Structure 1
Amino acid sequence: MVDLAFSTNAYTEYDLSEAVRRIADHGYAGVELLGDEPHAYFPGFGDADREALLEALSETGLAVSNVNANTAMGYYDDAPPSAFFEPSVIRADDEAREWRIDYTKRAIDLAETVDAPAVCLATGRPLPGTLPENAHDYLRESLHEILDYAEPRDIDVGIEFEPELLVENTEEVLALIDDIGRESLGVNLDVGHAAVYGEDVAESIRRSAGSITGVHLEDIVGGRRGKHYHRIPGEGDLDFRAIFDALEDVGYDGFVTLELYTYPDEPDRAAREAAAALESYV
């Protein structure tokens, strides 16, 4: 049986410790930590921030499901609109790529501190001038360096695929995992991303059996080839019975994390209604 967690990336109007406490108020067993502004942007996340977070976790009894290091918007003083995944681990610029590798290592440090099982990482998009085959070379090199750091700390790294990124579907992430050939690399499976790519979500889960480091959950309007907009479960077309049945079939017993960053103005409502909608599945 899985447990529910909720990501702090819906609570960007609150500091990290307050976000943790608010999520606990809605009955969740776990919390995912946003590894970015305004929560744990690692160049500015100091000892006092870490102690405040540990105090909130101790006070609430919440487990940490994952450290979400997909984005690093704090890198920019004035971020352009599509900068979410930059600088990425597939950048041709050596300095920018190394910055992102080190950033991911800091996410691993936080995961170790809070006893989280994994961090998640998105590949980013191949930018103009970087051929996809060259981006794959950078990705492999980056992942081996990251995994060399993660493995002694017993932290898994989950690649989160997303349409339009270098790794954008189940087939590609599983091929990457096979290519890298290290047990600590898996998939942080966002069911909505599978749906908007046009995949059968339950089949994506079954194909990923044994490689799932974590699950992101949200609803999507339109199901297959729907628009990529995260909605509260019940407000879209995903079949959550089929999703949870598939997770049970593959023996997944970790956290399923609601990722509803699309509700920054009403995160408490999103957390409350999502928990109620999924109560019968967990």
Structure 2
Amino acid sequence: MVDLAFSTNAYTRHSLPEAVRRIADHGYAGVELLGDEPHAYFPEFDNVARDDLIKALEETGLSVSNINANTATGYYDDAPPSSFFEPSIIQADDDARAWRVEYTKRAIDLAETVDAPAVCLATGRPLPGTPPEEAREYLHESLGEILDYAEPRDVDVGIEFEPELLIENTDEVLALTDEIGRDSLGVNLDVGHAAVYGEDVVKSIRRSAGSITGVHLEDIVGGRRGKHYHRIPGEGDLDFRAIFDALDDIGYDGFATLELYTYPDEPDRAAREAYDELSQYV
């Protein structure tokens, strides 16, 4: 049975404990924690912040579905354009790449502390001057170190593919997990990313059976080859009945997490309406 969770990345105008409490008010069983500013940006996430988070989780009874470590925007004082995933684990700069590996380890530490099953991670884009073949070497090297750290802590790592990143579709993420060949590495499957890449979302789910560490949900206008803008389910063209049926068919029994960071002005409305739309399927 799939449970619904909601990501705190919609609540970036609220503290992390307040975001947890608000999400609980809308009926969700789980919460995904944003591993970035303004919530858990790990160089600044101290013991006091950790204890405040644990208190909120204990008060609400929410489980943590995932630690979202896709971005680390707090790294930059003055971020360059399209820096969402930088510094990435495929950065040619050794120091920047090592910083991101250590950052991901801190996300794994938080996952262990709050009993989250997984951390999700995006590969980033190959930057000018870094050919894809070289970027893949950095990717394998980085993942090896990250997985060595995650496995003793019983935390999985899910690669989240996205158009225009080094790993941007189902074929590529499954090829990567095969190449690495470690059970702790899987797929954080964002159904909207599959749709905007032009994939059949149900087929992507079925092909990923046994490898899914977590699921991100949002609606997309246009479906296949639609515009990449996260919308509240029911406001786009995705068939959520088919999506949940496919998750059931493959025996997925983890969390499906709403990722609606596009609603920072009205996160409570987004959380409420998304739950109202999707609770019929779980």
Distance in 1 of aligned mates of 2:144 and 2:81: 30
4+ residue segments displaced more than 3 Å: none
Distance in 1 of aligned mates of 2:57 and 2:25: 12
Provide the residue aligned with 1:142 in structure 2. Answer: 142
Provide the residue aligned with 1:34 in structure 2. Answer: 34
3-state DSSP of counterpart to 2:278: helix
CA-CA distance at 1:139 after TM superposition: 0.1
TM-score for both structures, normalised by structure 2 = 1.00
Provide the residue aligned with 1:177 in structure 2. Answer: 177
CA-CA distance at 1:133 after TM superposition: 0.4
Show CA shifts across 1:185-204 (max 9, x none): 00000000000000000000
Distance in 2 of aligned mates of 1:16 and 1:83: 23
Distance in 1 of aligned mates of 2:92 and 2:76: 18
3-state DSSP of counterpart to 2:43: helix
Provide the residue aligned with 1:272 in structure 2. Answer: 272
Provide the residue aligned with 2:165 in structure 1. Answer: 165
Provide the residue aligned with 2:92 in structure 1. Answer: 92
Greater Cα offset, 80-89 or 128-137: 80-89
Provide the residue aligned with 2:111 in structure 1. Answer: 111
3-state DSSP of counterpart to 1:43: coil
Equivalent residue runs for 1:191-206 within 5 Å: 191-206=191-206
Provide the residue aligned with 2:56 in structure 1. Answer: 56
Q: Which amino acid aligns with 2:163?
A: P
Identity of aligned residues (%): 84
- Check if 1:101 corresponds to 2:101: yes
CA-CA distance at 1:78 after TM superposition: 1.5
3-state DSSP of counterpart to 2:230: coil
- Check if 1:217 corresponds to 2:217: yes
CA-CA distance at 1:225 after TM superposition: 0.1
Provide the residue aligned with 1:154 in structure 2. Answer: 154
CA-CA distance at 1:81 after TM superposition: 3.0
CA-CA distance at 1:42 after TM superposition: 0.1
Q: Which amino acid aligns with 1:164?
A: E
Show CA shifts across 1:149-178 (max 9, x none): 000000000000000000000000000000
Distance in 2 of aligned mates of 1:275 and 1:230: 15
Provide the residue aligned with 1:243 in structure 2. Answer: 243
- For structure 1, the residue ranges without an aligned partner over 5 or more in a row are none
Show CA shifts across 1:239-262 (max 9, x none): 001100100010000000000000
Show CA shifts across 1:129-149 (max 9, x none): 000000000000000000000
Distance in 1 of aligned mates of 2:256 and 2:81: 29
CA-CA distance at 1:27 after TM superposition: 0.4
CA-CA distance at 1:80 after TM superposition: 2.2
Distance in 2 of aligned mates of 1:99 and 1:200: 36
- For structure 2, the residue ranges without an aligned partner over 5 or more in a row are none
Distance in 2 of aligned mates of 1:279 and 1:172: 32
Aligned residue pairs total 282
Distance in 2 of aligned mates of 1:249 and 1:97: 39
Show CA shifts across 1:50-85 (max 9, x none): 000000000000000000000000001121231100
Q: Which amino acid aligns with 1:141?
A: E
3-state DSSP of counterpart to 1:105: helix
Distance in 2 of aligned mates of 1:10 and 1:44: 20
3-state DSSP of counterpart to 1:65: strand
Provide the residue aligned with 1:227 in structure 2. Answer: 227
Q: Which amino acid aligns with 1:219?
A: D
3-state DSSP of counterpart to 2:214: strand
Distance in 1 of aligned mates of 2:154 and 2:274: 31
Provide the residue aligned with 2:43 in structure 1. Answer: 43
Provide the residue aligned with 1:281 in structure 2. Answer: 281
Distance in 2 of aligned mates of 1:43 and 1:119: 17
Distance in 1 of aligned mates of 2:199 and 2:248: 19
Distance in 1 of aligned mates of 2:94 and 2:219: 37
Distance in 2 of aligned mates of 1:81 and 1:70: 17
Q: Supply the RMSD in Å over aligned alpha carbons.
A: 0.4
